[in-house]
Structure 1
Amino acid sequence: MDAVISQLFAGLSLGSVLLLAALGLALTFGQMGVINMAHGEFMMAGAYTAYAVQKVVSDAGVSLLVSLVIGFVVGGLLGLVLEITLISRMYTRPLDTLLVTFGVALVLQQLARDVFGAPNVDVRAPEWLSGAVQILGVGVPKTRVFILALSILCVVALSLVVKLTPLGRRIRATVQNRDLAETSGVSTRATDRLTFFIGSGVAGVAGVALTLLGSIGPTLGTNYIVDAFLVVVVGGIGQLKGAVIAAFALGLLQATIEYSSTASLAKVLVFVIIVAFLQVRPQGIVSVRTRSLA
């Protein structure tokens, strides 16, 4: 029973990391249809923001909280600049956005090497996140519990923004029918930029959270970008609820397979299962209900 509970929390922990990485993509890719391969580098920027802030703020606890705010702003501004300069010209050419943003990702990686150096660096975790907390008799690292709580908080915040705020209504209107939204007085260009800012800002928050799990380096984002896209696709394009379900389902599945095999084999088997699932249900776990007969 202890082994089962331990693997359950390991899966939830991995799922929370995947969810944080995928939340921003659920907006930029799911809602806007933009294939942003530089999303992982926005996470990397958030991680290096935490490293830079800790150089200024010596108290690790205060530094973490400040980094979460600044990381959101840094990631959001990077996304906003990318949207204004490049993405805005390619909304009707999604494959071109893939190539362009992949090039931007390489540029940001090299920029990180030039500024911070190629070797990985560490960010100190605050004292109140050291050690483990006992849950059902199993010791769970406090850093993992914090990331799980942070991911849930981000999901709730994004859901409230999309469903209850005027910005959320403009986002939904733009996604459903851009032309009709424009004729109704909605500035779709401003909505696109705000959406990209929020989605990229969440990536920055994810990067700050990842500093609690180990060393960070210029290639941090490449370790998560593919998994983040898989979460969005499996959950259902543009569906926050689907992304939550998919992230934790994939996390639990991988943790379960890793228990009786290796991490590499688990990744392969999870990918095979995803491919098989998408053959049966290509629209993902959660799909948009319409009245179309097609």
Structure 2
Amino acid sequence: MELETLGNDSFVTKFVLLGLTDSAALQPILFVVFLLAYVATIGGNFSILAAILIESKLHTPMYFFLGNLSLLDVGCITVTVPAMLQQFLYNDRSIFYRACLSQLFFFHFLAGADCFLLTVMAYDRYLAICHPLTYSTRMSWGIQKASVGMSCVFSFTNALTQTVALSTLKFCGPNVINHFYCDLPQLFQLSCSSIQLNEQLLFVAAAFMGIAPLVLITVSYAHVVAAVLRIRSADGRKKAFSTCGSHLTVVGIFYGTGVFSYMRLGSVEASDKDKGIGILNTVISPMLNPLIYSLRNPDVKGALQRMFTRR
């Protein structure tokens, strides 16, 4: 165990991430699987972003937000997977204290921005379907940029607050984290000082960044469904629902995994379920988002086809 002595106290300078498995035979297989998942995620999200930039038909608020969501997905998987691949490659599971805090900060910053951006996207669909005549005014270019900027500011503030609060805790041993990346629930279990303030801050963050956005998304789509059901044309209803179906699928995956991860703070023992949910949250979700949007959205699908077949 790496310890640093200050006065009569000793503090952890390194943590050990147990990762996904102890089996030496499985590690090369997992390295290949997660490397392919990482490459697929980077390629898929940048393909979506390139299609949005190149195709003039996609220069609308909805796809502007989708492009930013793709960038956040690339950031989320980059925070966790390359470090995990390095652990598989060099068989070194240690991570320095400051590197652990950095990983924690960037993960919460990017995931928090995802929360707010998904809420903005739901509001965008509400305006487009329920208030089409005033849509261009209410969702102007300035409002689009301000919405993305405020999402990042709120998320940055929360991530910084959680990281600074965690840095005040003492870690005097043990230093083994039963996970493949640094996150709050697992670090709380290793602290040898009171985590009451940290849990309160996390509760406030969950209400502000989890519950409130989810309520706003639900209310927005309740109005959208009511408006769509009033459309007489079957084709019109189908088109309206198709533009919302992809977003609702992403919201379901994102919030489903997030709620499970942070509602288990009272659990003393970390389990393999936490690792499975972590994989869904940090790897599977960013990888699936481009597929969900390209397969369910004819505009994105057409733009990608034209982009890859154009000489």
Fold shared by both chains (TM-score > 0.5):
no
Which has more radius of gyration?
Answer: 2
TM-score range (shorter-chain normalised) is: 0.3 to 0.5
The TM-score with structure 2 as length reference comes to: 0.31
The TM-score with structure 1 as length reference comes to: 0.32
Higher relative contact order (CA 8 A, sep 6+): 1
